[in-house]
């Protein structure tokens, strides 16, 4: 006859609050401080973004790609700060009778896509506040 040894897990040693579904642990969110480091490269990239505004409309896909290329600490910070400048901007028409464009929507969408795909959900601390 063969003898089998089965591993036994003791759950009694784990406090109930750590296994409770009603009290999940707080999510870990990374804060990228854009106010203390890489200030010159961030400012340079912001100026580059400003040159991507054509007819009052930023080229959001090109801006996002440049932010990706610069990395989270510079590109993410510049994108967060640039996006904040567009929040609250009144939707405007492109050209005479053209479609109305809501730049605040595109600013927010671009930043959130970047944050989710390239910055692991990070919060960016900019001179205008956390975003």
State the DSSP string of 13-81. TS-HHHH-SSSPPPPP--EEETTTSSHHHHHHHHHHHHTTEETTEE-HHHHHHHHHHH-IIIIIHHHHH
- Distance, in Å, from the CA atom of 122 to the CA atom of 119, rounded to the nearest integer, reads 5
Q: What is the mean pLDDT of the chain?
A: 81
pLDDT greater than 90 at residue 91: no
Residue 84 lies in a domain: yes
pLDDT greater than 50 at residue 104: yes
The domain in which residue 98 lies consists of 27-130
Q: Say what percent of the chain tops pLDDT 90.
A: 56
- For residue 104, what is the enclosing H or E element? helix 103-118
- The pLDDT confidence band at residue 19, using thresholds 50, 70 and 90, is very low
- Return the pLDDT at 47: 95
Residue 41 lies in a domain: yes
Residue 90 lies in a domain: yes
- Distance, in Å, from the CA atom of 123 to the CA atom of 29, rounded to the nearest integer, reads 7
Residue 31 lies in a domain: yes
Residue 63 lies in a domain: yes
- Return the pLDDT at 13: 46
Residue 18 lies in a domain: no
Question: What's the total number of domains in the chain?
Answer: 1
Residue 75 lies in a domain: yes
The β-bridge partners of 33 are: 125
Residue 21 lies in a domain: no
- The pLDDT confidence band at residue 44, using thresholds 50, 70 and 90, is very high
On the CB side of 115, how many CA atoms lie within 13 Å of its CA? Answer: 20
Higher pLDDT, 61 or 17: 61
């Amino acid at each position: 006859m063969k003898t089998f040894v089965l591993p036994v897990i003791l759950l009694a040693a784990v406090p109930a609050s750590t296994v409770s579904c009603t009290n999940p642990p707080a999510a870990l969110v990374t804060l990228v401080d854009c106010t203390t480091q890489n200030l010159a490269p961030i400012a340079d990239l912001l100026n580059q973004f400003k040159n991507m505004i054509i007819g009052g409309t930023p080229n959001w896909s090109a801006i996002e790609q440049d932010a990706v290329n610069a990395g989270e600490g510079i590109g993410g910070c510049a994108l967060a700060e640039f996006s904040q400048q567009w929040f609250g901007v009144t939707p405007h028409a492109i050209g005479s009778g053209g479609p109305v464009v809501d730049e605040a929507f595109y600013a927010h969408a671009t930043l959130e896509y970047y944050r989710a795909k390239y910055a692991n959900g990070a919060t960016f601390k900019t001179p205008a506040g956390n975003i």
